[in-house]
Amino acid sequence: MKVTINKAESYENESAVINAVAVTDEIRNAVDILRNNGASIPVISEGDTLMIRASSIYYIESVDKRTYVYTKDDCHETKYRLYELEEILGVNFLRCSKAMIINIKKIRSVRAELNARLSAELLNGERLIISRGYVKDLKKKLGVI
Amino acid sequence: MNRAKLIFNQTLMISTAILFGMGIRTAILFVTAGEYMISWQWYIPLSIIAVGFLCALASLILYDDSATGKVNMRVRVCLHCILVLAIVSLSGHFFNWYSSLAEYLIIVIMYIIIYAFVWIATVWMLKVDEKKINDAISEIRDEE
């Protein structure tokens, strides 16, 4: 595939356009990497260290100074702090409360509550609360402000 | 949004709502009794802001992050409604907003209309936002 890189004036103007006959696995991987979903983080599972792809993470929670990574069916501990994971995981992840980061792509739907919070239902059926103070960040990320 | 900003915004909104209610009342007096001039005691404008501030403090029970569940929220809304009515009634008595039972009943009716209107507007805005967010999420959502 022919690859052309043009210099952008600022980081905000950076973008990638892919012209392809079909969306193959390679192209999906490339898109994942460009969107930072190609990132992986080490987690501890039953004493072993595993690498988990960002795209398989549903949400991350901090409890008693320990950080837990939740995938569709599993929960693993990681040594990273939430603020570090926010930087590593990139644009598809959103801080939804003081102790939680959520993968926006794993949200099935949200429901507004009377106190201006959002109740988010994930693809695995779990429900999480997006605190009032972080709803604006979600809207910004989704481009609905 | 931090609490100070929340209280400030609520104070502005509630004070405006009270002014709106008083405006409606004076308009009704003009139409029904032909009263062109309204005279207020010097402290009335300040009392409106003071009541706005007290009602804003009461609204903190709605914005408590520990509140979960529909029932809990509905109970809090009922408590808030009663608490704000109590603040308006007592402040109204203290600041001489009313001098008879009939005038007090007008204030209560105005309060109920404004309170219901504010909630209807709030729920409508929340639902509009909810739909926008859900539409945007459906465009980027992973496949199940």
Q: What DSSP assignment string belongs to A69-82?
A: EE-SS-EEEESS-H
Average pLDDT rounded to a whole number, residues B136-144: 85
Task: Check CB contact of A37 with chain B, cutoff 8 Å.
Answer: no
Average pLDDT rounded to a whole number, residues A29-56: 82
- Tell me how close the Cα of A43 comes to any Cα of chain B, in angstroms: 22
| Residue closest to A104 by CA, chosen among B69, B65, B130, B134 | B134
- Tell me how close the Cα of B48 comes to any Cα of chain A, in angstroms: 25
Dihedral angle sign, alpha carbons of residues B122, B125, B131, B133: negative
Contact A104 B137 (CB under 8 A): yes
Contact B63 A139 (CB under 8 A): no
Residues of A in contact with B127 (CB under 8 A): 112
**pLDDT more than 90, % of chain A:** 49
pTM above 0.80, yes or no: no
- Tell me how close the Cα of A87 comes to any Cα of chain B, in angstroms: 20
Q: Print the domain residue range for B89.
A: 3-140
Residues of A in contact with B141 (CB under 8 A): 105-108, 123
ipTM field: 0.76
Contacts of A69 (CB under 8 A, 6+ apart): A41, A43, A52, A57, A60, A75, A76, A77, A78
On whether the CB atoms of residues A112 and B129 are closer than 8 A, the answer is yes
- Out of A30-44, B3-17, B56-70, B83-97, give the one with best mean pLDDT: B83-97
Is pLDDT of A33 > 90?
Answer: no
Query: A11-142, superfamily in CATH?
Result: LytTr DNA-binding domain (2.40.50.1020)
- Tell me how close the Cα of B1 comes to any Cα of chain A, in angstroms: 5
pLDDT tens digits for range B37-55: 888 889 989 999 999 999 9
Count of structural domains, chain B? 1
**pLDDT more than 70, % of chain B:** 98
In total, the C-beta contacts within 8 angstroms joining chain A to chain B are 67
Is pLDDT of A69 > 60?
Answer: yes
pLDDT at residue A144, as a whole number: 86
| Token duo for residue B21 | 């209610």
Split at pLDDT 50, 70, 90, the class of A99 is: very high
Task: Check CB contact of A57 with chain B, cutoff 8 Å.
Answer: no
pLDDT at residue B41, as a whole number: 86
| Residue closest to A136 by CA, chosen among A110, A122, A119, A117 | A117
